[in-house]
Amino acid sequence: MLKAIWDNIKGLYSLVVGLSITGRYLLSPVETIHYPRQVVDDEILASFRGPIQLTLGKKDPAQTRCVSCQMCVKACPGHCLKVTKGEAKAPVAWTYDFSYCCLCGACVESCPTGALEFSHKVYLVTVSREELIFDLLADLKKRAATRAEAPTPTGSAATGSASIAASAGSAAPAPPAAGTAAAAAQPSPKPAQA
């Protein structure tokens, strides 16, 4: 009986502990990023898994590594991929309907040649569903062209992913660095850097 009463009184101390924690949070600066005025660093975006894209080719960056084996098409639970095989193994059309994509990554996992990867497009916005159907081959060509204009990875990553590219080593076609650079070069509704 007395012990129960004493326990209850001691329990009041935990209320004070809780109040002190929230009081400390109340006074500490906010953690959230105010999107239109501020954006997160590209360093954080390197781990962001956005819509998939084709990886840059090993010899010619504009040439995809895809061999049209249709493994990704079979693996996709949302049926959002369509790969048309050409004369050789290389695909002639690669459409990706992002409106059906659940970002599960089954296509990336199943690809035997490593032709697919997640992009880091965090600011992807469209005004219609049709715009969400991407032609990934054209996208790859565009990214390769942007990379060709600025040859070194550190140079292409002018918007702030320089540290990532540097940490990925001096090897030019390091996939994460290239991906980040490509994402940064995408024509997205990118706000001014705060």
Partner 1 sequence: MDLSLAIFVQIIVAALLVIGLMVGNAVVMVYMERKVAGFIQRRPGPYEVGPWGTLQALCDSMKLLAKQLYRPGNVDIILYYLAPILAFFPVLLLFLPIPFGPYLTALNVNEGIILILAFAGLGVLSNLLAGWSSNNKYSLLGAARAVSQTVAYEIPMILALLAVVFQCGSMDLKNVTEQQGAWPWEWNVLTQPLAFFIYVVSLVGETNRAPFDLPEAESELAAGFHTEYSGMGFALFFLSEYANMLLVSLVAAVFFLGGYKGPVADGFWWIFIKAYAIMFFLVWIRWTFPRVRFDQLLNINWKWLLPLSLLNLWLTAIIVKLLI
Q: Is 31 in the site for partner 1 (CB under 8 A)?
A: yes
Contact range with partner 1 by CB under 8 A, out of 17-25, 84-92, 99-107, 112-120: 17-25
Structure token digits, residue 36: 């239109």
Site for partner 1 in 32-91 (CB under 8 A): 32, 34
Judge residue 80's burial from the number of C-beta atoms within 10 Å of its C-beta, 0-12 exposed, 13-18 middle, 19 or more buried: buried
Which residue among 1, 2, 13, 28 contacts partner 1 (CB under 8 A)? Answer: 28
> Binder to partner 1 among 1, 2, 26, 88 (CB under 8 A)?
26
Nearest Cα neighbor of 142 from 193, 108, 188, 87 is 188
- Is 2 or 15 the residue whose CB approaches partner 1 more closely? 15
Shortest Å, Cβ 44 to partner 1: 17
Minimum distance of partner 1 from residue 122's CB (angstroms):
19
Q: How far is the CB of 88 from partner 1 (least distance, A)?
A: 53
Gyration radius (Cα) of the chain, Å: 24
Binding part of the chain for partner 1, among 26-34, 54-62, 68-76, 127-135 by CB under 8 A, reads: 26-34
DSSP-assigned letter for residue 113 = S
What's the rounded Cα separation, in Å, for the pair 97 and 184? 21
DSSP assignments along 4-38, one per residue: HHHHHHHHHHHHHHHHHHHHHHHHSPP-S--TTT-
Least Cβ distance, residue 27 to partner 1 (angstroms): 8
CB 83 within 8 A of CB 149: no
Give the footprint of partner 1 on this chain (CB under 8 A). Answer: 8, 15, 18-19, 21-23, 25-32, 34
